[in-house]
Amino acid sequence: MAVFRSSNILANYIFPLMSALYLQGASVFYFKLYDDKRLKDLKHSTKIKIVNKAVKLCRKDKPLNSTSRLLAMLIWCGIPALVLFLIFNFSFAVSWFALSIFILEIKLANDESADVETYLNQVLE
């Protein structure tokens, strides 16, 4: 029964939200860049392509530190999910894990937006 409740929460609340933010094969977690005033008059698909190019350029110069990302996922997502599993049940753990990964992705992209913004200038030129 716990598995059914957690999958129901995921199916009805988490997955539609994640798919709404994942448009045309491009993650739109870079809200600050997507809403930049220089991209105001462009189509949605063009904005996403420009932001993705800027992120790719940034990744070439400053690759992701996989160790720190995995550590952040373990600390903010995995450990609380394990505690919720031990105290309550499986549905709380799965729900927390999915939602916390989503929130962590938004936070990390938001923190990284300042670095990527300089590359946005290169793409727009």
**Lowest-pLDDT range, 20-24, 28-32, 55-59, 114-118?**
20-24
Q: Calculate the CA dihedral of residues 61, 66, 69, 73 and round it to 10 degrees.
A: 160
Q: Whole-angstrom Cα distance, residue 58 to residue 122?
A: 11
Q: Is the pLDDT of residue 10 over 60?
A: no
* SS percent in the chain: helix, strand, coil, step 5: 80, 5, 15
Q: Which domain holds residue 94?
A: 2-124
> Could you give the number of structural domains in the chain?
1
Concatenate the DSSP letters of all residues of 35-66 into one string. T-GGGTTS-HHHHHHHHHHHHHHHHHHS---H
Average pLDDT, integer, range 78-96: 86
Average pLDDT, integer, range 35-61: 86
Average pLDDT, integer, range 53-78: 89
Q: What is the mean pLDDT of the chain?
A: 78
Q: Whole-angstrom Cα distance, residue 74 to residue 117?
A: 28
SS3 23: strand
